[in-house]
Amino acid sequence: MKKISSLWVRSLKRKLLPNHLLGRFVAISFLPLISLEIALGGFFYARHWDALSHRLARDISGEIQSVAEWVDMTNLSDSEIQKNLKRLGTNLALEFSWKPNQFLPDQVKKRASKMVKPLKSELSGIHFPFQLHDSPYAEQTISVQLKRGILQVVVPRKRFFSSTVLVFLGLMIVSTLICFGIAFLFMKNQVRSMVRLAKAAEMFGLGQMDYPFKPEGATEVRQAGASFLQMRSRIQRYLKERTNMLAGVSHDLRTPLTRLKLQLEMLSQNTTTKDMQQDVAEMDQMLNGYLTFARGEGREESSFVEMSPFLNSLIDKFKKTGHDIELHAKTEARIYGRPTDLSRAFGNIINNATRYGTKTQIQLQKKQGMIHVIIDDNGPGIPAKKRIDVFKPFYRLDSARNSQTGGVGLGLTIARDTILSHGGEIRLETSPLKGLRVIISLPESQSKALK
């Protein structure tokens, strides 16, 4: 039960929180700020604005009551009352007018709009019958019934409405927007340094060892960047050492091997020497394979490779030597990588197909950001339990089959090395042509300006 609820909370969090780091940063820093502002706004409204509106309304009703009492008691003529009211009105910022011999209809109770509610409730301080002609958001007119007529008072908006709340709200919104803008720019910079690090790591995975990258941003991100650079150079150094050692050993072995070859030639020829000569020739071939592999590695620059023309030109070479080979490439696909290394890798696989079978079919497909090259042949195939071993250096299946085909057993090793260093993978299956199916998957490149 606990597990289910924690899963539910996690999935809700995943749905509610933005996916991108920048969105998360913004949500984390602004949700508390906005909640605080809403709480402060509510508090301000309840305590300050409401109280202020009531006090303003109370003042108005007191003033109207005093003026109404004076008009009710005075013996002055109507025109003099009118004159005095005008003067009073100017002083009190209210507009009074005297309507002698007029009477209010029966009191009609109206619902006051929210804005004039404080005014309406405070008008109970007027001890004469009165009527409020409520018009929201504008000046209010109050008619007070006196003995001899009606005293009409127009209350301008500024007398009962405090604009502080609007100024306060406006300030709050503007300051939030300014903070938001500054934080957004600042966070974008922080996120950019992480995106660059992710890109450099991705390119490293694709075999591009020298992708330009400089640690930047916050200390932690810079530390991660510096560690990445250290790791990258350590791996580069390790690979270089391994390749150099391989080249060195192969090179050094060649001299005694050549000597051995010459000595064997000088011996009287019999079956033993013939076997020994064959072994020496095989060793020579292996060393040559290693040397070619070691020399070619890590020297080449990456570039965009259009798969369809790339495969076409590759199989043209095989077609020229009379092999039955077909290419089905209905899709346009591009990868980013080292063309010579790739052509050696694909060449090794196609070479195997033509060497161990008589018919080869190649397909090019594109799925979910990956390109897949499927190479089928009608040869004897590779049993499922040997499909891992054949990638080991110098591993060859049964010698009877291989004595006629001649090879050293490095083809698949080199191909897998190249494909993995391009961020791809290579799989062996049984082909519908009854032979071997090799599936090579590589990440598709979308952008032209990758570098």
Ligand X SMILES: Nc1ncnc2c1ncn2[C@@H]1O[C@H](COP(=O)(O)OP(=O)(O)OP(=O)(O)O)[C@@H](O)[C@H]1O
* DSSP secondary structure letter of residue 101: T
Nearer to Mg ion, 289 or 411 (CB): 411
Residue whose C-alpha is closest to residue 354's, from 377, 329, 320, 384: 377
Strand positions, DSSP E, 146-281: 149-155
Concatenating the DSSP letter of every residue in 285-302 gives HHHHHHHHHHHHTT-PPP
**Residues binding ligand X: what is the number (CB under 6 A)?**
25
Instruction: Identify the residue whose tokens are 């990868």.
Output: 335
Nearer to Mg ion, 225 or 411 (CB): 411
What single-letter amino acid sits at 139?
A: E
Nearer to ligand X, 26 or 397 (CB): 397
Task: Verify binding: residue 289, Mg ion, rule CB under 5 A.
Answer: no
Which residue among 64, 327, 374, 382 contacts ligand X (CB under 6 A)?
A: 382
The one segment of 119-127, 186-194, 316-324, 347-355 that binds ligand X by CB under 6 A: 347-355
Tell the smallest beta-carbon distance from residue 420 to ligand X (Å): 15
Task: Verify binding: residue 410, ligand X, rule CB under 6 A.
Answer: yes
Task: Verify binding: residue 323, ligand X, rule CB under 6 A.
Answer: no
Instruction: Identify the residue whose tokens are 């077909």.
Output: 326
Contact 305, 337 (CB under 8 A): yes
Which residue among 225, 379, 423, 424 contacts ligand X (CB under 6 A)?
A: 379
- Binds 402: which of ligand X, Mg ion, none (CB < 5-8 Å by kind): ligand X
Give the integer Cα–Cα distance in Å for 358 and 351. Answer: 11
Residue whose beta carbon is closest to Mg ion? 411
- Binds 344: which of Mg ion, ligand X, none (CB < 5-8 Å by kind): none
Nearer to ligand X, 141 or 292 (CB): 292
Task: Verify binding: residue 217, ligand X, rule CB under 6 A.
Answer: no
Alpha carbon 270 to its chain centroid, in Å, reads 72
| Helices of type H across 321-428 | 339-356, 399-405, 411-421
Task: Verify binding: residue 418, Mg ion, rule CB under 5 A.
Answer: no
Contact 123, 65 (CB under 8 A): no
Tell the smallest beta-carbon distance from residue 315 to Mg ion (Å): 16
Tell the smallest beta-carbon distance from residue 348 to Mg ion (Å): 5
Residue whose C-alpha is closest to residue 114's, from 37, 64, 49: 49
* Tokens at 279, concatenated: 């072994």
Nearer to Mg ion, 161 or 356 (CB): 356
- Binds 152: which of Mg ion, ligand X, none (CB < 5-8 Å by kind): none
CA atoms within 13 A on the CB side of 323: 24
Residue whose C-alpha is closest to residue 123's, from 93, 81, 160: 160
Task: Verify binding: residue 435, Mg ion, rule CB under 5 A.
Answer: no
- Binds 409: which of Mg ion, ligand X, none (CB < 5-8 Å by kind): ligand X
| Number of neighbouring beta carbons within 10 Å of residue 143 | 18
Which residue among 288, 409, 443, 444 contacts ligand X (CB under 6 A)?
A: 409
Question: Given strand 130-133, what is the order of strands in its sheet?
Answer: 95-100, 149-155, 140-145, 130-133
Instruction: Identify the residue whose tokens are 């606990």.
Output: 2
Which residue among 381, 416, 421, 423 contacts ligand X (CB under 6 A)?
A: 381
Question: Considering only residues 378-417, where is the footprint of Mg ion by CB under 5 A?
Answer: 407, 411
* Tokens at 403, concatenated: 């004595």
- Binds 397: which of Mg ion, ligand X, none (CB < 5-8 Å by kind): ligand X
Give the integer Cα–Cα distance in Å for 25 and 233. Answer: 32
Give the integer Cα–Cα distance in Å for 240 and 298. Answer: 8
Nearer to ligand X, 68 or 436 (CB): 436
Task: Verify binding: residue 352, Mg ion, rule CB under 5 A.
Answer: yes
Task: Verify binding: residue 286, ligand X, rule CB under 6 A.
Answer: no
Query: From residue 240 to residue 279, what is the string marking binding to ligand X with x (rule CB under 6 A)?
Result: ----------------------------------------
Task: Verify binding: residue 416, ligand X, rule CB under 6 A.
Answer: no
The one segment of 5-13, 178-186, 235-243, 348-356 that binds Mg ion by CB under 5 A: 348-356
Task: Verify binding: residue 408, ligand X, rule CB under 6 A.
Answer: yes
Tell the smallest beta-carbon distance from residue 185 to ligand X (Å): 55
For 197-210, b/e burial (b = at least 16 CB within 10 A) is beebbebbebbbbe
Give the integer Cα–Cα distance in Å for 335 and 307. Answer: 7
What 3-state DSSP class applies to 429?
strand
Query: From residue 356 to residue 375, what is the string marking binding to ligand X with x (rule CB under 6 A)?
Result: x-------------------
Chain residues binding Mg ion by CB under 5 A are 352, 407, 411
Chain residues binding ligand X by CB under 6 A are 289, 348, 352-353, 356, 377, 379-382, 390, 395-397, 401-402, 407-413, 435-436
